[in-house]
Chain A
């Protein structure tokens, strides 16, 4: 059953196109929304993504707070947005690895590692973000072998097992409660003495008899053989390291912006987020930014969609000038 429109068709059809009104870097909610608005207004639009369209939406099991849709899988929402953008004429190129970006002049130039070069009058940067990793020894080695970043995907591998959840935000606490459906014991490890999550999420976690807490602590190493066997946990204030036998660890410590490819091209803040004006302009003329990679305090699908809309309208004005 073919449910997913193949971007390959579009890529082959428009292989010769090199010049566009607008190039969008990033095909998540912000980028696809911008593409929909621009292409519907008859602008020629190329959307490049370093991975696959959808961004973080693809990693969301169920979306229940998108107005107008009571409940939808992240996959279906992303797939629909992609098809909608393509329907209006956006060309979407997946797995596009950036080689160079030259946005200083009137013509914005994007060169890919495969040698393809594209020009545009305006650019929208919407590279999104990714799950933050602990970056400790053993983390990469045991990802998929006990370490996970998705409770809904991998929770049932841990039926009647003991697990750790790392983090202190809403995601960490809500997923910890969710994981008690499977695990016999959930230990939340958090670096501070208090949580950043909303009080109702904290209360739900504290009320759950399967959940206990290790505060002011951080994981410094994961150990095991075929699969994860233990985590070494350091108490931050005392410096004491203890080894906790464990079957699994779920990590929810926020996101990092995917701005490595644009570092040095546009102005970023100390966290690597793109600095924008209220009109979503970057420090370069006719280069705009939208979505989770922008310097913003709210990162939701709805806010990314709003950003994409605003950036598209601003870019459209720039193209018409």
Chain B
């Protein structure tokens, strides 16, 4: 009984760690530009398809993975500089910019269907999800262990970047007070562009590790994106640690719901969580309420 529950908890943590990467990207962009990026999942989709193409042409996994990261980050950066900066210069408001990300999502979906087709394909992934290890009473597949690892490493790298580097300090400063950062001579556009690139790269990692478990089709990231979004709301949309905590809670809760309540409600849970959080604690678990002191 307990063993079985542990098993579900582990499965949940492994899924949650990938949601965490998606949520971190959403929060990173929201914090720095106040834009909710609806194309977040689709950027990961196109990059994962790039990895798929590279793997089908017998490139090694690391080449394919690297290519996916570069493509994902490039799409994010290009969208920021090519569209958002220009829109901002023309006086677009936040809602307008959010809609622009929705437009980007549709463009990417169209492009992916056009180039790769709408048929689901299987990503030739070097890590198996049938080979398993047994730790105590918990059976762990190689893939879920790798997912957990990817989530941890991704989060850790982001933590180091944001908390321990000068660029990270500039990112935190820019997202907190754009005008002050500008008057200090910090190249804020460049910093925000980097945020978009890093956020996109994080979701690409999630995409590549999710693809072998799901089938790869042009819309396969929609569900993980919505889960990441729910996790970000749960943790507090402007808190990076909150995103990780929210994602892990969501992953475990989802897994337990699927196991003990009804598998049909597994996906609904994320949205129930959004509703409850917004009603009870709108700033999220670790989010800060706005406060000011003169």
Question: Does chain A bind chain B?
Answer: no
Taking Cβ atoms with an 8 Å cutoff, the residues of B that contact A are: none
Binding site for B on A (CB under 8 A): none
